[in-house]
Structure 1
């Protein structure tokens, strides 16, 4: 009986972990601009990118390469599952349908990662996309 209870507990944990990535498509909420460290940053003169998220995969509408000092607006669209994007160095905490606007002030290559646990550890840890800031 104890083995059966343990098996049910493990199966429930696995299903819960997979639900984040395999959940139903989110309803589109009204878009509002995310607050950033620089509240005066305007999205109207920012270079804009849209990142789509599917189970364990990010894709962008164009190459994520920008010039240092540029204002950037990143949109996240969840096509499958529920995902978020973050990068501590750039101060990005991005949720679907809530754009992040910031100024890229340091050159380098930054990994934007899924910050919502969405499945098995190996699959979730591989869910990344790169943003390059060049001179």
Structure 2
């Protein structure tokens, strides 16, 4: 009886440890973006916001291709807006648009978030 109980406890412990060691795919950054903010091959831009700053100063996409943009708030409550493309995401969310003209466009926080709010900006570079 003791050997059976010991085997059961051992199997249970192995299962618990295996479950604890798994990586949660939503916590891993699977994007192909470089540090310069290049969009992935499908023009996906992932923006992470903390108090009074975005994770990158610039994000680059291709003109004439649909862009999917997502916002994740890692700290505080923020939104993003890009006026020229009628993009307005409040809180964590996504939007899509197609930029036709190359140029530089301001991405700014659209939710008043405190003393650094007015400086919370990045640039979308459309090539």
TM-score range, shorter chain: 0.5 to 0.7
Higher relative contact order (CA 8 A, sep 6+): 1
> Which of 101, 109, 117 is the matching residue for 1:114?
109
RMSD: 1.9
Corresponding residue of 2:60: 65
Unaligned runs of 5+ in 2: 1-40
Corresponding residue of 2:49: 53
Instruction: Return closer, same or farther for 1:97/1:117 CA change in 2, 3 Å cut-off.
Output: closer
Distance 2:126 2:69 in 1: 14
Unaligned runs of 5+ in 1: 1-44
2:81–2:89: 8 Å Cα contact kept in structure 1?
A: yes
Equivalent pairs, count: 87
Structure 1 position 93 matched with structure 2 position 81: no
Corresponding residue of 2:75: 80
> Which of 110, 130, 135 is the matching residue for 2:123?
130
What TM-score do the two structures reach when normalised by structure 2?
0.63
Q: CA deviation at 1:85?
A: 0.2
**Equivalent position SS for 1:116:** coil
2:90–2:111: 8 Å Cα contact kept in structure 1?
A: no
1:75–1:96: 8 Å Cα contact kept in structure 2?
A: no
Distance 2:81 2:124 in 1: 12
